[in-house]
Amino acid sequence: MTDFKVNDSVIHCREGLSKIFAINTINECNYFLVRAKGNHGETIYVPFSSANDIIRPIMTKKEADELLKYMKNIKKEFNTNTKQRRDEYKRKLLSGDVKEIAYLSRQIYFYFKIGGENNTEIKLGPVDFDMLNYAHNMLMDELALTYDKTRDEIESFVARRIAKL
């Protein structure tokens, strides 16, 4: 088990940027009590035994730079089959894998870069936008914390950093 402790910022596989605010024992099982960013009411109980499958530490700057290098090499890939595309998006989101999240974040970048609503290649629906935006926001929240930038600064910072790599 990774050495998580109270007040650590972590990434929850489904909720994104979160903070461990307590540790509790229930029926002889130990839990990290986690609260997702922006969710001040709901407590997520993460068992110590499966913590590494549910939460992970925030990336270091070195890891973030490696991820941005990876993102620079992601190619535009739009599956025109709506069901297959959405199933792929869901699978990638639920994996919690930062590279899968980065892939989705990069795809929305390509969509808008090649014409957005006037795009003749593919028409994304509201569900597509919701999933891609969710991935993008999850990634940008983490990168803002990693690079010590505000959420307003991080998108342009990431674009410049990717261009330099």
pLDDT, tens only, 19-63: 999 999 999 999 999 999 876 678 999 999 999 989 999 999 999
Mark residue 96 as left, alpha or beta (left: phi above 0; alpha: psi -120 to 50; beta: remaining): left
pLDDT, tens only, 57-101: 999 999 999 999 999 999 888 788 889 989 999 999 888 899 999
- Asked whether the CA dihedral 6, 158, 64, 75 is positive or negative, the reply is positive
pTM of the predicted structure, to 2 decimals? 0.85
Which amino acid, 5? K
Please give the domain boundaries of the chain with CATH numbers for all domains: 9-57 (2.40.10), 61-164 (1.20.58.1290)
What is the spatial distance between Cα 96 and Cα 159, in angstroms, rounded to a whole number?
23
What is the spatial distance between Cα 12 and Cα 55, in angstroms, rounded to a whole number?
4
Note the pLDDT of residue 3: 86
Return the bridge partners of 33, or none. 22, 45
